């Protein structure tokens, strides 16, 4: 059976199905089963690619190779765990009266459609279709951010739509310019937007046009990654949307957007051997890192704080890919995986905590260890992981990035250390009172699903200690392809 | 100097100039129904320009592009927007962030920047419509200006769609349009986007009793 | 060298302007009345008014200075000069070397300064009101007019009016979007400069809404006659300028007296159509509030600049 087709069809069909039945009691289970099916298909696809090498689908419109196949698996995995988490979480929200039946239907169906668009974006070979899928991903989540219909969530969704809309329009212009440059070399067939063809002729693409195109693509897709100064939508969207949405936005959408930039960077590097693309990414990455670290320390809302943490990490990853070379690329890919798992775990824990205490302001949350030791420890460990403490995997990738920077870009190292240090102090200082201390929180109607938190953290821990050889091989291959 | 331009290219240049003029007119327009009509007119002119390009170059997919533009941007989207304006009972625009003459001046500066940026690219193109790439970029920037300086949510949406028009003109002028499958995808995205926005506007109106986006500037880092 | 026929031709053109200008104003008034379904005043009414005013005594205010007394003559002289250098009938008249477009704008500017100063000279409040408003309109209209001229000068590679007119008359029929933009901008500017609706209502009697009329409230007798004649000459000059720049077909190219005479019927026809168009626009629009005038003229300026930019981008490279 064709795992790829299965992987795309399951979310699409279940999304349509959940439009009708999303509010039933067994709907969350259907959601989980659908996500499980998607994950199984993704695993099957991964095994197939690892064994047989890259393959095409639907003519040449889709292409799965070593770069995107593990992202596909990661996306499906986080999608699965988030759906497990979201079952009892949304039930609790409904009990608390924050959601109604139609909105639950909307939520469930949009969730599956969102998974579909992201998987399509990851696997498409056609850069134009990549754009379409990215825009569709934004569209599916706009209504999710405003799910609670409070003034704040409406504002957050509006900002999200407008800012990402403007950003994606720039990305479209970049794609047009890219097509223009490609057409001059590849002719007017429909192949000029296919990445596999472009990669063969990347040295012949016109440098001026490619430079301009990459700028627009970086700014455009960078808006969706959360690069400063275009990041304004991110904290609001994370803070005001439901927690599962925050988890997938942070854990998955940012990655997919960065993946889009990476595909384009490979082409730009071929046309502009002077490292123009890399330098741009280094600049944006460092700026994002600094901005995020400093805004982090001013936050009072726990979700906003972790949203800024996502921005910070994305800046770091962009910086790593900007540096380029096998080591930095490896570190970047590793960090993307680690961040995805850890941040979603944190949001799971935070979601439970805010549900129990009924507030998102950090000064009003305390003593999580006493309410529910699992949530408390989950949050503590997750925070330690994201801050880069050994032996968690994030430490390994951050260490690699730092050492590489010290060797090749020594002027950037103080900035990196400063930003990471400020973030460490801020987050740790705020999370510590949340986890320890006195409390009077209530019991929840439905028991929270704690498993995903520890599952993610466990994987991160394991990868920090030991990376399986096939994973290492994949990282190396992908890193090499990124140049 | 002028005999070198064939008649079809002159016609396309004329249409492109009209599109630019409409972009400025939208910047200055205060009343909502008139704004939507200007947008529809812009879509129509865009379709005509694509049609002329299609007839001159004989590329089949440009005919489909033109038809798609006509249906979507000159008919369906304005119809949806008109219905929204009527149902939401949106009154005219409040005073913009900066007054209209200053906005116009800023618009002129943006047009000059756009022309300069587009010049090296148009030099490299071989289409008959390459002169209009600068105009397309200028339309995009003017639409962006409109989104920044206006206070009503619907005006921002019209600005966003006008930006989409500019990008379509850019694609047509530089490369005779994108592959058909991509154009269909983009059209689908735009349509779904406007529908979602329509739903969203009702939510906003229910919550704030108005579509003035100044109600939505409260979220800050506290 | 200046030939006799050239001098005669020039004098003829000036005389034609002096005679036709009040007729043009009368024609515009007639068309307005027709559009508004009123009974029209007689076509030659402006002549009767001028004649009446010339026979009347001049009444001067106590504080009126020599500037006040000489302003009407200066303004009239400027307008006659403007009509002389605008190629309405032919492009090859003796004054042609002096007929630079920028000089034309300067001549209009000179007239504007004198009339505004004269308005403020007597010290009445309405006079200063009119003078300041006139300066507001002029300050914005002049750059717009200059931009239009620059666009045309770029097409003709010269700022000399006869050269511009000849180049535009003899090019092949090419669609120039920049000319369309420049034409619309020029129309806006001429509405503002000639004190027409939608900027200023020439027939109003409400002083607080006046721009042009407020400046001449203190004038009487032959001074007022000269100013009224100058106003109609200004309208004639703008109309001829617009026709020469944008519809230049039929203007004689040489010094030939016969060609000059042959150009007259076409000019009359064009003026008649232009006058009717003017009356139509006046009927359809309402006078806008004074603080919207900068927006109106800002739009004109922007259109003119757009025309220039479009010219540079679309037409001058390919």
Which sign, positive or negative, has the C-alpha torsion B108, B114, B116, B122?
A: negative
Mean pLDDT of A375-380: 84
- Whether A215 and chain B come into contact, CB under 8 Å, resolves to no
Of these ranges, A195-204, B71-80, C203-212, the one predicted with the greatest mean pLDDT is: B71-80
CB B187 within 8 A of CB B181: no
Q: What is the pLDDT of residues A146-163, one digit of tens each?
A: 888 888 888 888 888 888
The Cα of A235 is separated from the nearest Cα of chain B by a number of Å equal to: 9
| pLDDT in the model for residue B39 | 94
B131/C316 touch (CB, cutoff 8 Å), yes or no: no
- Whether C67 and chain B come into contact, CB under 8 Å, resolves to no
Distance separating alpha carbons of residues A222 and A128, to the nearest angstrom: 17
| pLDDT in the model for residue B129 | 65
Residue C318 has its nearest CB partner, among B4, B17, B115, at B4
Distance separating alpha carbons of residues A266 and C164, to the nearest angstrom: 54
| pLDDT in the model for residue C318 | 44
| pLDDT in the model for residue A314 | 93
| pLDDT in the model for residue C209 | 80
CB B173 within 8 A of CB B136: yes
Q: What is the pLDDT of residues A46-61, one digit of tens each?
A: 888 878 878 887 777 8
Q: Up-side HSE of residue C187: CA atoms within 13 Å toward CB?
A: 15
Residues 6+ apart with CB under 8 A from C166: C91, C156, C248, C253
Residues 6+ apart with CB under 8 A from C250: C263, C266, C267, C270
Burial of residue B180 (number of CB atoms within 10 Å: 0-12, 13-18, 19+):
middle
The Cα of B30 is separated from the nearest Cα of chain A by a number of Å equal to: 21
Show residues of chain A in contact with B125, CB under 8 Å. 180
- Whether C305 and chain B come into contact, CB under 8 Å, resolves to yes
Residue B175 has its nearest CB partner, among A139, A183, A301, at A183
B132/C294 touch (CB, cutoff 8 Å), yes or no: no
CB C188 within 8 A of CB C177: no
Does residue B221 or residue A376 have the better pLDDT? A376
C180/B24 touch (CB, cutoff 8 Å), yes or no: no
> In A, residues 302-321, which contact B (CB 8 Å cutoff)?
304
- Whether B10 and chain C come into contact, CB under 8 Å, resolves to yes
pLDDT band at A193 (very low <50, low <70, confident <90, very high): confident
Residues 6+ apart with CB under 8 A from C44: C23, C26
> In C, residues 155-184, which contact B (CB 8 Å cutoff)?
171-172, 174-175, 177-178, 180-181
Distance separating alpha carbons of residues C167 and C102, to the nearest angstrom: 18
Of A10-14, B161-165, C199-203, the range with the lowest mean pLDDT is C199-203
Does residue A274 or residue C22 have the better pLDDT? C22
Show residues of chain B in contact with C314, CB under 8 Å. 13, 16-17, 131-132, 135
Q: Three-state DSSP class for C88?
A: coil
Show residues of chain B in contact with A300, CB under 8 Å. 222
- Whether B135 and chain C come into contact, CB under 8 Å, resolves to yes
Strand partners, B212: B152
Does residue A446 or residue A121 have the better pLDDT? A121
Nearest Cα residue in chain A from B206: A149
Distance separating alpha carbons of residues A467 and C181, to the nearest angstrom: 67
In this predicted structure, the answer to whether residue C173 has a pLDDT above a threshold of 70 is no
| pLDDT in the model for residue A445 | 67
| pLDDT in the model for residue B3 | 46
B176/A188 touch (CB, cutoff 8 Å), yes or no: yes
Largest CA distance in chain B: 64
CB A307 within 8 A of CB A235: yes
Other C-beta atoms lying within 10 Å of the C-beta of residue A461: 16
- The interface pTM score, or ipTM, of the predicted complex is 0.86
- Whether C314 and chain B come into contact, CB under 8 Å, resolves to yes
Q: What is the pLDDT of residues A60-95, one digit of tens each?
A: 788 888 788 888 888 999 999 998 888 888 888 888
In this predicted structure, the answer to whether residue A459 has a pLDDT above a threshold of 50 is yes
Mean pLDDT of C173-185: 81
Does residue B50 or residue A372 have the better pLDDT? B50
- Across all residues in chain A, what is the average pLDDT? 85
Q: Up-side HSE of residue B63: CA atoms within 13 Å toward CB?
A: 6
Domain spans of chain C, in order of start: 4-313
The Cα of B71 is separated from the nearest Cα of chain C by a number of Å equal to: 27
- Per-position pLDDT tens, chain B of length 222: 344 567 777 788 888 888 998 998 888 887 888 899 999 999 999 999 888 888 887 878 888 888 888 998 899 999 988 888 888 777 666 666 677 778 888 888 998 888 888 877 777 776 666 678 888 889 999 998 888 888 778 888 899 999 989 988 888 877 777 777 778 888 888 888 888 888 888 888 777 777 777 777 776 665
| pLDDT in the model for residue C277 | 92
Distance separating alpha carbons of residues A292 and A315, to the nearest angstrom: 8
| pLDDT in the model for residue C261 | 77
| pLDDT in the model for residue A443 | 64
Largest CA distance in chain A: 69
The Cα of A139 is separated from the nearest Cα of chain B by a number of Å equal to: 6
Residue environment code for A329-358, b if the CB has 16+ CB neighbours within 10 A, otherwise e: bbbbbbbbbbbbbbbbbbbbbbbbbbbbbe
Closest to C184 (Cα-Cα) out of C24, C31, C297: C297
pLDDT band at C3 (very low <50, low <70, confident <90, very high): confident
| pLDDT in the model for residue C116 | 92
- Whether A481 and chain B come into contact, CB under 8 Å, resolves to no
pLDDT band at C115 (very low <50, low <70, confident <90, very high): very high
Residue A154 has its nearest CB partner, among B120, B185, B207, at B207
B203/A173 touch (CB, cutoff 8 Å), yes or no: no
- φ, ψ for residue A126 (rounded to 5)? -90, 115
Query: What's the pTM value of the predicted model, to 2 decimals?
Result: 0.82
Show residues of chain A in contact with B121, CB under 8 Å. 177, 180, 208-209, 212
Distance separating alpha carbons of residues C91 and C162, to the nearest angstrom: 5
Show residues of chain C in contact with B13, CB under 8 Å. 175, 177, 314-315
Distance separating alpha carbons of residues C291 and C288, to the nearest angstrom: 8
B193/A139 touch (CB, cutoff 8 Å), yes or no: yes
**Paired sense of beta strands A62-64 and A55-57, if any:** antiparallel
Helical spans, DSSP H, in C194-292: 212-215, 221-246, 257-284
Other C-beta atoms lying within 10 Å of the C-beta of residue B206: 10
Q: Three-state DSSP class for C252?
A: strand
Chains interfacing with B (3 or more CB pairs < 8 Å): A, C
> How many helices (DSSP H) and strands (DSSP E) are in chain C?
11, 0
| pLDDT in the model for residue C228 | 92
| pLDDT in the model for residue C315 | 67
Q: Tell me if there are at least 3 CB pairs under 8 Å linking chains A and C.
A: no
């Amino acid at each position: 059976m064709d795992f790829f087709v299965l992987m795309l069809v399951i979310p699409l069909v279940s999304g349509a199905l959940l439009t009708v039945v999303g509010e039933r009691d067994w709907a969350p289970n259907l959601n989980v089963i659908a996500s499980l099916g998607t994950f199984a298909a993704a695993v099957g696809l991964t095994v197939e690619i690892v064994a047989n090498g890259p393959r095409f689908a639907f003519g040449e419109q889709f292409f799965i190779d070593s770069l995107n196949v593990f992202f596909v698996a990661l996306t499906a995995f986080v999608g699965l765990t988030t759906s497990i988490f979201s079952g009892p979480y949304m039930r609790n929200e409904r009990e608390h009266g924050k959601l109604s039946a139609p909105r639950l239907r909307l939520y469930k169906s949009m969730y599956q459609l969102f998974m579909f668009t992201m998987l399509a974006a990851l696997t498409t070979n056609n850069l134009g279709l990549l754009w379409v899928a990215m825009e569709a991903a934004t569209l599916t989540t706009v209504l999710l951010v405003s799910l609670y219909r409070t003034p704040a969530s409406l504002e957050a969704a509006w900002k999200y739509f407008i800012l990402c809309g403007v950003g994606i329009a720039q990305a479209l212009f970049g794609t047009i310019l890219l097509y223009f440059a490609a057409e001059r070399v590849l002719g007017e067939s429909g192949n000029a937007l296919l990445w596999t063809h472009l990669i063969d002729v990347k040295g012949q693409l016109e440098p001026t046009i490619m430079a301009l195109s990459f700028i627009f693509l970086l700014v455009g897709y960078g808006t969706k990654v959360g690069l400063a100064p275009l990041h304004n939508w991110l904290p609001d969207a994370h803070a005001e949307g439901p927690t599962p949405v925050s988890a997938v936005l942070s854990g998955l959408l940012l990655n997919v957007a960065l993946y889009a930039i990476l595909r384009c960077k490979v082409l730009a590097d071929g046309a502009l051997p002077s490292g123009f693309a890399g330098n741009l990414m280094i600049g944006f990455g460092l700026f994002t890192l600094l901005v995020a670290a400093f805004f982090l320390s001013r936050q009072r809302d726990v979700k906003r704080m972790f949203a800024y943490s996502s921005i910070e990490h994305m800046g770091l990853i962009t910086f790593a890919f900007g540096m380029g070379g096998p080591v930095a690329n490896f570190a970047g890919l590793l960090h993307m995986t680690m961040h995805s798992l850890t941040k979603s775990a944190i949001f799971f824990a935070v979601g439970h905590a805010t549900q129990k205490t009924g507030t998102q302001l950090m000064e009003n949350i305390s003593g999580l260890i006493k309410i529910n030791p699992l949530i408390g420890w989950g949050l503590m460990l997750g925070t330690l992981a994201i801050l880069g403490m050994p032996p968690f995997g994030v430490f390994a990738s951050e260490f690699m990035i730092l050492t590489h920077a010290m060797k090749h870009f020594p002027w950037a190292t103080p900035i990196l250390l400063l930003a990471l240090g400020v973030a460490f102090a801020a987050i740790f200082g705020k999370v510590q009172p949340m986890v320890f201390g006195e409390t009077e929180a209530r019991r929840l109607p439905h028991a929270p699903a704690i498993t995903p938190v520890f599952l993610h953290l466990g994987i991160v821990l394991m990868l920090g200690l030991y990376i399986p050889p096939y994973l290492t091989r994949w990282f190396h291959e992908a890193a090499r392809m990124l140049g | 100097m002028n005999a070198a331009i064939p008649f079809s290219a002159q016609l396309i240049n004329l249409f492109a100039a009209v599109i630019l003029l409409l972009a400025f007119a939208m910047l200055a327009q205060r009343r909502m129904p008139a704004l939507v009509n200007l947008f529809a007119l812009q879509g129509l002119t865009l379709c005509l320009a694509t049609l002329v390009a299609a007839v001159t170059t004989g590329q089949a997919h440009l005919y489909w592009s033109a038809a798609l533009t006509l249906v979507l941007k000159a008919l369906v989207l304005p119809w949806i927007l008109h219905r929204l304006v009527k149902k939401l009972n949106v009154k005219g625009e409040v005073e913009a962030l900066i007054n209209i003459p200053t906005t116009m001046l800023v618009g002129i500066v943006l047009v000059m920047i756009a022309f300069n940026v587009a010049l090296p690219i148009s030099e490299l193109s071989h289409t008959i419509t390459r002169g209009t790439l600068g105009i397309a970029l200028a339309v995009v920037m003017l639409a962006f200006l409109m989104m920044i300086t206006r206070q009503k949510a619907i005006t921002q949406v019209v600005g966003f769609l006008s930006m989409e028009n500019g990008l379509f003109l850019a694609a047509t002028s530089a490369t005779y349009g994108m592959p058909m499958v991509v154009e269909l995808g983009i059209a689908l995205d735009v349509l779904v986007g406007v529908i979602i926005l329509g739903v969203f506007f009702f939510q906003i109106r229910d919550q704030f009793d108005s579509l003035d986006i100044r109600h939505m500037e409260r979220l800050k880092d506290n | 060298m200046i030939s006799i026929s050239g001098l005669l031709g020039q004098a003829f053109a000036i005389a034609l302007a002096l005679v036709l200008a009040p007729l043009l104003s009368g024609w515009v008034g007639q068309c307005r009345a027709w559009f508004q379904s009123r009974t029209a005043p007689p076509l030659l009414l402006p002549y009767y008014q001028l004649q009446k005013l010339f026979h009347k005594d001049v009444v001067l205010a106590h504080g009126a200075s020599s500037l006040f007394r000489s302003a009407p003559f200066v303004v009239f002289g400027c307008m006659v000069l403007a009509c002389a250098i605008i190629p309405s009938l032919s492009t090859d008249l003796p004054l042609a070397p002096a007929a630079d477009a920028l000089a034309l704008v300067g001549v209009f500017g000179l007239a504007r300064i004198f009339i505004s100063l004269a308005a403020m000279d007597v010290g009445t409040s309405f006079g200063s009101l009119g003078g300041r408003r006139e300066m507001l309109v002029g300050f914005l209209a002049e750059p717009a007019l200059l931009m239009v001229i620059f666009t045309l000068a770029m097409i003709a590679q010269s700022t000399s009016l006869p050269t511009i007119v000849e180049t535009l008359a003899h090019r092949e029929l090419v669609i120039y979007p920049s000319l369309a933009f420049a034409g619309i901008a020029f129309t806006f500017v001429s509405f503002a400069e000639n004190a027409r609706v939608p900027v200023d209502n020439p027939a109003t009697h409400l002083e607080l809404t006046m721009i042009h009329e407020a400046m001449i409230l203190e004038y009487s007798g032959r001074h007022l006659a000269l100013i009224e004649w100058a106003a109609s000459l200004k309208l004639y000059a703008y109309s001829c300028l617009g026709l020469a720049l944008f519809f230049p077909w039929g203007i004689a190219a040489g010094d030939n007296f016969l060609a000059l005479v042959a150009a007259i019927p076409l000019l009359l026809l064009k003026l008649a159509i232009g006058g009717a168009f003017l009356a139509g626009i006046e009927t359809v629009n309402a006078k806008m509030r004074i603080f919207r005038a900068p927006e109106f003229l800002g739009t004109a300026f922007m259109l003119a600049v757009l025309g220039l930019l479009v010219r540079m981008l679309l037409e001058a490279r390919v």
